[in-house]
């Protein structure tokens, strides 16, 4: 089955039954049975994440991080490998179970959680928040709420890194996910009291556009 066939079919069906995020669990379940392919299942962490952490010589000793929509855990393992006390969550129990199985002995705290309703104890608790290619998989009607919730995970003095597919404002929205983010949507991550530090529009050799954006929250005064 083509990578986008099951994704498009399941994503289209979820809003119709009033469950706009339920398709993630169905996709992971079908993948476990060999009936679908998870398009974002890769053998390594996202290259733009690795590049960003390398350029900054990032170390996490004594600091906490969280990875949003962690899937099979590649990005989370990379962040934990830098020394961060790392939590990673996904709305799909099947994805979380698979991440634990794929990384035996991992220090990452893999959890089932909803980006629209994260645990209250997580509010403004993480020194680093990584949102890589998750919000772009959410339909427009819940995207603003997800963007706000992601921002609220960032602790005073902390950083949010957003990686997403990109599109120009005038481009039509694709029928099936991913639904690339516009610059306006990227800028909206600053709505939770965060300050944009760097917003990069990156185009690879195949013409695929990506955003990589960094936001900071000021320290408690």
Length of the chain: 221
Residue whose pair of structure tokens reads 């991992």 in the numeric block = 106
CATH number for the domain spanning 179: value is 3.40.50.150
In a domain, residue 15? The reply is no
Q: HSE (CB half, 13 Å, CA atoms) of 137? A: 26
In a domain, residue 153? The reply is yes
Please give the structure tokens belonging to residue 12.
């289209």
In a domain, residue 69? The reply is yes
Structurally, the chain folds into a number of domains equal to 1
Q: What is the pLDDT of residue 2?
A: 44
Mean pLDDT, all residues of the chain: 90
Q: What is the pLDDT of residue 221?
A: 57
In a domain, residue 196? The reply is yes
pLDDT at 40 over 90: no
In a domain, residue 1? The reply is no
In a domain, residue 116? The reply is yes
Domain that holds residue 148: 43-216
**Tens digits of per-residue pLDDT, 49-72?**
999 999 999 999 999 999 999 999
- Of 27-31, 168-172, 186-190, 197-201, the one with minimum mean pLDDT is 168-172
**Tens digits of per-residue pLDDT, 114-160?**
999 999 999 999 999 999 999 999 988 899 999 999 999 999 999 99
For residue 133, what are the contacts with CB-CB under 8 A and spacing of at least 6? 40, 46, 69, 163, 164, 165, 178
Q: What is the pLDDT of residue 95?
A: 97
What does the DSSP 8-state code read for residue 117?
B
The closest alpha carbon to 64, from 85, 33, 37, belongs to 85
State the pairing for strand pair 154-165/195-203.
unpaired
pLDDT at 73 over 90: yes
The whole-model pTM stands at 0.91
Is 41 strand, coil or helix? Answer: coil
Q: What is the mean pLDDT of residues 183-191?
A: 95
In a domain, residue 182? The reply is yes
Starting at the edge strand found earlier in the chain, the sheet holding 126-132 runs 109-112, 85-90, 64-68, 126-132, 154-165, 209-216, 195-203
């Amino acid at each position: 089955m083509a990578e986008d066939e099951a994704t498009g079919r399941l994503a289209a069906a979820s809003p119709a039954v009033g469950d706009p995020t339920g398709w993630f669990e169905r996709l992971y379940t079908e993948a476990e049975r060999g009936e679908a392919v998870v398009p974002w299942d890769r053998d390594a962490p996202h290259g733009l994440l690795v590049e960003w952490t390398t350029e900054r010589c990032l170390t996490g000793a004594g600091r906490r991080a969280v990875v949003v929509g962690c899937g099979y855990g590649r990005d989370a393992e990379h962040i934990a490998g830098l020394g961060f006390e790392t939590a990673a969550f996904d709305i799909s129990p099947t994805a979380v179970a698979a991440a634990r199985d794929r990384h035996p002995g991992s220090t990452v705290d893999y959890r089932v959680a909803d980006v629209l309703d994260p645990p209250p104890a997580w509010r403004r608790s993480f020194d680093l928040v990584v949102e890589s290619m998750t919000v772009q998989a959410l339909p427009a009607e819940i995207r603003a709420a997800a963007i706000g919730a992601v921002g609220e995970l960032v602790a005073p003095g902390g950083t949010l890194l957003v990686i997403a597919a990109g599109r120009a404002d005038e481009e039509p929205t694709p029928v099936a996910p991913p639904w690339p983010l516009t610059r306006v949507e990227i800028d909206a991550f600053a709505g939770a009291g965060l300050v944009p530090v760097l917003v990069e529009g990156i185009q690879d050799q195949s013409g695929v556009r990506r955003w990589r954006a960094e936001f900071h929250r000021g320290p408690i005064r």
